[in-house]
Structure 1
Amino acid sequence: MANSAVADQLVAETRVEVSEPAVLLERLADHFSEHGDVTKEECKARLAFHFGTAELEIDGGYLNVAATASDASGLAFVKVALAEHLIEFSEPETPEIRWTGDCAAGSPVPYLRRMTVERVEQITPRMRRVRLSGDDLERFTRESMHIRLLFPPEKGGAYGWPVMGEDGRPAWPEGLPKPIARVYTIRRIDADEGWLDIDMVLHEGDGYPGAGFAENAKPGDEIGITGPGGGTYGQATRYLLAGDETALPAIARILEELPETARVTAIVEIADAAEEQVLVSKADVDLTWVHRDGLEPGTTDLLERAVKAVDWPEADPDTYVWIACEQAAVRKLRSYFRKEKKMPRANHMAVAYWRRGVAGEHAGEKDG
């Protein structure tokens, strides 16, 4: 079993039997290269994230995995990320995953918080801000911006609260429905005061539990959150930030955090002029709003054309591109910067926040 843990690190290990461990190792390394630093050898791989690390090693018909992190939440994140993708990439097999070590099965989920709606504010006709209050929010102030909101499965319905499962994923109590999880950006947070703001896009229809929650939320409502995870951006002098309205909360937060020495080109696709917001930044910002004006989200190339119209230097190490929108547009823009602009992976991030025609937690990276 691979194990590079050092003193004061939490450690968990598992040994997973699969029919093609080499194929599985390759798929895991390729996937996680988009989310962290991956070092791969012939029969081994090391995955390094800001919240922890994992070492994978082929041993006959088994894949040995050792996860390490400096705190329980980080270790739990490594375990759940690996478990989800070990299962996904092994289909149609269903591998048995049993972790040993720290953050054991039956223990509380360390990255879960129970929150209460404090207030609701209408930002634009299609964007609402929900302030959630709760305790022990310090970890949510760290580098990552994304959290999962756990919505009741039906209006006014109750759901149980999980513990850590044997496979590293949350185990939910029997007899109660599971909540519906969607990923959102923390717009603002004050851990000392015990609150965080979430900006939520309002959609029509029943396929958007976050929009339904935002539409009906009132002070005193309870909701769960897990995280944080993902949504970081690199350090640079010049930035290109681009996305649709689902990415607007993240773009607004990044702009507020950037220093006055930064130069930023920001492009945001929205429904119409009524959805424009005042975005504050100390940086030198050139902001462009792209209006669909009646066209459906995810059906145009407006954002793609606006991004490609920017005079962007090739292979400049002091630049960073951050893009988040519908999956098809993300793929085209990712290819554009990698193949045409020759931009190293370390200098850009392009993430699908949603996928047209597909609902659910894994339709993209976010629900809006």
Structure 2
Amino acid sequence: MALLFTVDTVEDLSPHMRRFTFSGDAVGAYIATGQFPNIKIFLPHPDGTYDVPELDDPTSGTETVLRSRPELHARVRTYTVRRYDREKNTLSIDFVLHGDEGIASAWAMRARPGTTLGIAGGGGRHIGQGDHYLIAGDETGLPGIGDILDNLPADATGTAYIEVAGDSGRIDLTKPEGIEVVWLSRDGAPGGTTTLLVDAVKSHELKPNTFAWASAESAQVIAIRKNLRARGVDRKSMLVIGYWRRGLSENGYAKAANHDRDLKEYDDHEHDHDHGVGAAMREGAAHLAGRLRRRRRT
């Protein structure tokens, strides 16, 4: 499914995080697919055009169009659905703001109510069940952390470590009473250049039946996974994914390392629900087909 969402409202959660809430029939159609927690966005050119006339026509075979045009793949990004409302046909996505460094941030800096955004499928794995939760992420993982905290059981216990550039990066989060949120400030240091998040995980006391979730820069998630495995956390009791790598675009990172996934963390799951255009693009294009190649080897 490929759709055009329309921005309804814009809210600055912090100087570094902006929430866009989309509304309309296209949003309702997406919600009905159940493709959560992730969503694939298809970004327009700076002038707002997409070069895909078939977009927003469910009968057009847009998936085939995108799959056959590799030049479009660089305009696809993966985000977390922060929240949605089936009755109101609304859906929110939080964007990290870092100027014009990337096309997604550039879009978020300029988008206003009425601006459109292409949607190219979605999916992903939800956090698993545990008696205790260890959650860790930087700004890019913050929307995912917010979604997790919103949906954990009311009696859940654990700790969420969140690394941000500075105190101004903190945002309000709804959470179970038994979850402690610990903010880690880089004091202005660039993302991915400190060991704050890794050190926090290393010093965290693991309790029996802990489920660990982490998303941040590549080097950080590799170190976090290594530490958790060394301390006996089973692969099926963790979900650790790199959201970005310094010096690479999302597509470049996917090609180089498939976001540092360990597919054994997915063995207890039938698949990771990545459907629609996003899946078709990766499976149809060699430079985005990391997941398909691994499936063929297993």
Tell me whether the two structures share a fold, i.e. TM-score over 0.5.
yes
Which category of TM-score, normalised to the shorter sequence, fits these structures? 0.7 to 0.9
SS in 1 for 2:227: helix
Cα displacement (A) at 1:182: 0.5
Distance 1:239 1:352, change over 3 A: same
Distance of 1:140 and 1:309 partners within structure 2? 40
Cα displacement (A) at 1:147: 0.5
Q: Is the 8 A contact 1:187 1:198 kept in 2?
A: yes
Q: Report the residue type matching 2:79 in the other structure.
A: Y
Asked if residue 157 in structure 1 is aligned to residue 49 in structure 2, the reply is yes
Superposed, 1:47-66 pairs within 5 Å as none
With normalisation by structure 2, the TM-score equals 0.76
Cα displacement (A) at 1:278: 1.6
Q: Is the 8 A contact 1:137 1:191 kept in 2?
A: no
Which of residues 330, 334, 341 in structure 1 aligns to 2:231? Answer: 341
Distance of 2:142 and 2:165 partners within structure 1? 12
Cα displacement (A) at 1:174: 9.0
The answer for the alignment partner of 1:134 in structure 2 is 24
The answer for the alignment partner of 1:255 in structure 2 is 149
Total equivalences in the alignment? 247
The answer for the alignment partner of 1:244 in structure 2 is 138
Cα displacement (A) at 1:319: 1.7
Which of residues 95, 113, 117 in structure 2 aligns to 1:223? Answer: 117
SS in 2 for 1:363: helix
The answer for the alignment partner of 2:276 in structure 1 is none
Superposed, 1:297-316 pairs within 5 Å as 297-313=191-207, 316=208
Distance of 1:271 and 1:350 partners within structure 2? 21
Q: Is the 8 A contact 1:116 1:223 kept in 2?
A: yes
The superposition leaves residues 96-146 of structure 1 with CA deviations (integer Å, 9 ceiling, x where unpaired) of: xxxxxxxxxxxxxxx32221111111110011001112321334545x310
Cα displacement (A) at 1:289: 0.3
Asked if residue 213 in structure 1 is aligned to residue 107 in structure 2, the reply is yes
Asked if residue 145 in structure 1 is aligned to residue 34 in structure 2, the reply is no
With normalisation by structure 1, the TM-score equals 0.62
SS in 1 for 2:104: helix
Q: Is the 8 A contact 1:153 1:178 kept in 2?
A: no
Cα displacement (A) at 1:231: 4.0
Q: Is the 8 A contact 1:247 1:324 kept in 2?
A: yes
Give identity over the alignment, percent: 33
Cα displacement (A) at 1:170: 3.5
Which of residues 215, 222, 236 in structure 2 aligns to 1:324? Answer: 215
Question: What is the RMSD of the two structures over their aligned residues, measured on CA atoms?
Answer: 2.4
Q: Which has the larger radius of gyration?
A: 1
Distance of 2:200 and 2:224 partners within structure 1? 11
Distance of 2:117 and 2:234 partners within structure 1? 39
Q: Which runs of 5+ in 2 are unaligned?
A: 261-298
Pick the structure with more strand per residue.
Answer: 1
Pick the structure with more helix per residue.
Answer: 2
Q: Report the residue type matching 1:255 in the other structure.
A: L
Asked if residue 197 in structure 1 is aligned to residue 92 in structure 2, the reply is yes
Structure number with greater CO (CA < 8 Å, separation at least 6) is 2
